[in-house]
Structure formats: structure tokens, C-alpha cells
């Protein structure tokens, strides 16, 4: 069962936290989340699941930025959400999808107990100009049946865009790659 917009409002501060919260963003059965002003792109030609891949940051200027096809862009929501006793899920808005912009390539389903900003895996079918602060996706809440544990893993309590940390699962004793600085090679770009 999916929560209605009225039920989302009823559970705010209890099972649902959205910060910042704007009541005008509540839909009949979802809540719109907005795009932060930074993107991240991988700098590797071939991405490697077994290691941290270098990334570069891009700031979205006021006039927007054009996303190119065949390029994965990682973004994040402005809003930090926390969910208890429900399963959160993000979906692209239909108005965004009709421009050929996917906002989550495969990972729209969240875990009960997740707290943090949502990393968006953005992919454009054709060149499309995007703007920071746009209502880019919507969060949906599903009822959860049965005993459950809350999410406590590598992306919990994130405060930034999160590139893949799959390498931590593949090498559980990973204590950092001596070839990779702790900031994963993050560089800021304003282009």
C-alpha cells in the first residue's frame, strides 16, 4: 500500500522527516524532491566495481547546464529524508521523463530506516538543460509488513553525492586505497 499525500502529512515528524519541508510539494500520493546545485561525473573511461573511481564535481550555474547523452551524472536532492516503519522509493516526475531524462538508472528503491540525501543517477536520452532547485523526482512511501531491521550501511547519513561504494562489499577489509586519496579524487569545477 502506498501512502496518500494526506497520510504523508499525518506521519511527518513521526515516521517521515523531510528537511527542508514545503507543504506545496505534497502530491496526491508522493512528495516532490528538488535537485541540488552540484553534479558529479566519473573521470574513469572504464569504471571498476572493485575500487573507488575518480570523480569530478560540476556546479550547475544559474542559467542551467546541458546534460550530454551517454554520460552518467550523479546528483543529489536538496532534501534530507529519514524514514521509519515505511519503505521509501523515488521515481522521476513524468514531466522530467517526457524530456528523456532518467533520474535514477536502477536504484530508486530505498530501505526502511534510510536517513540522508538521495543520490540521483541521471542519464539523458538527448541533450537536455537542467536547473538547480527544480522538482526533479518524487518520493513515495510504502507500508511495510512484518518484523524488520532499519538500514545501517555504507550510504546511511550521507550529506553529499555518493559515488558507488560497491568496492567496500567486494573487499570488506578495505581500509583505503593507497593510490586513491580519501576524498576519492574529488575536484571542484564550475564549468
User: Which residues are marked as active site?
Assistant: 121
Place of cell 580519501: 182
Q: How far apart are CA 186 and CA 54, in angstroms?
A: 7
Give just the sign of the alpha carbon dihedral 154, 160, 164, 165: negative
| H/E segment holding residue 11 | helix 5-11
User: Alpha-carbon distance 158 to 76, whole Å?
Assistant: 10
Task: Using alpha carbons only, give the angle 76, 155, 71 rounded to the nearest 5 degrees.
Answer: 45
Give pairs for 45-53: CB < 8 Å, separation 24+.
47/164, 48/167, 49/164, 49/166, 49/167, 49/170, 50/167, 50/170, 50/171, 51/167, 51/177, 51/180, 52/163, 52/165, 52/167, 52/177, 52/180, 52/184, 52/185, 53/163, 53/164, 53/184
Amino acid at each position: 500500500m502506498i501512502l496518500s499525500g494526506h497520510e504523508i502529512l499525518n506521519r511527518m515528524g513521526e515516521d517521515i522527516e523531510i528537511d527542508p519541508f514545503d507543504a506545496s510539494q505534497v502530491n496526491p500520493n508522493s512528495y516532490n524532491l528538488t535537485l541540488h546545485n552540484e553534479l558529479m561525473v566519473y573521470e574513469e573511461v572504464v569504471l571498476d566495481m572493485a575500487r573507488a573511481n575518480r570523480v569530478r564535481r560540476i556546479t550547475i550555474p544559474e542559467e542551467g547546464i546541458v546534460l550530454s547523452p551517454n554520460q552518467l551524472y550523479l546528483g543529489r536532492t536538496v532534501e534530507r529524508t529519514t524514514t521509519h516503519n515505511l519503505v521509501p522509493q523515488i521515481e522521476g516526475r513524468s514531466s522530467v521523463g517526457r524530456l528523456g531524462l532518467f533520474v535514477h538508472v536502477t536504484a530508486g528503491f530505498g530501505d526502511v530506516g534510510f536517513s540522508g540525501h538521495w543520490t540521483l543517477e541521471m542519464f539523458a536520452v538527448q541533450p537536455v538543460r537542467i536547473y538547480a532547485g527544480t522538482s526533479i523526482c518524487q518520493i513515495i512511501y510504502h507500508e511495510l509488513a512484518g518484523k524488520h531491521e532499519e538500514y545501517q550501511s555504507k550510504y546511511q547519513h550521507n550529506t553529499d553525492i555518493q559515488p558507488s561504494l560497491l568496492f567496500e562489499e567486494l573487499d570488506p577489509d578495505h581500509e583505503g586505497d593507497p593510490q586513491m586519496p580519501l576524498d576519492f579524487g574529488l575536484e571542484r569545477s564550475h564549468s
